[in-house]
Chains A and B, each alone.
Chain A
C-alpha cells in the first residue's frame, strides 16, 4: 500500500516561513491535498490539487509537489497557524484507498 511520510514536528518563529513536507514514492505524479487540524476540532482543507487554495484560506498557505516530495508552505506564520497538518492522496490499488500522512505538528515559537 502507498505510504506518505511526514516529519513529526516543525517549529518556526512568528513572521517566518514554515515548510512541511510529505514524502512518497513518485508523489509528484499524484494530486496531494493538505489539511489543518487544531486541537479538539475536525480537519480543514487548506490546499487541494497540490497548490490550490479553497476560498477563505489565506494566501500565506501554498503548496508544491514534485518528484518524491510535496510541500506545504506557510509564510508570515501566525500563532493561529499552530496545528497538526496532514497530507493526503488517493492510492492506485484496486479500491483506490485514501491515504493520509502521519501528520506534522507545527509549533509557533
Chain B
C-alpha cells in the first residue's frame, strides 16, 4: 500500500505570508499511463473536502491562483501565497495512482 506522509501537521501562518506543505509518498506516483495522480484537498471546519489541485499542479476551477502545486515522483508541495483568513482548515494530499491514499492532514491556522 502507498503511504502518504505530510509535514508539518500543524502550520501557524501570519496573514499575508506564504504557507508550504510537504507530501511524500512511499512509492513513485507515476502511473503506467504517464500521469502522476497527486491531488490536494482543503477541508474547512464543518465542510466536505474540496479539491484544489489535481495531477500535481493543475488548479481546479474557481481556486485562487494563490494556491500552487509542484513536485514529481515521490515528493510534492502545496504552496499558499498571501494567506487569507478563509484558508484556515485542514489540507490533505491524496494519491490516486494505486487506488487512493490520503495523507494525515496539515492543519493551517492563523497566528
On whether the two chains bind one another, the answer is no
- List the interface of chain A (C-beta within 8 A of B): none
- List the interface of chain B (C-beta within 8 A of A): none
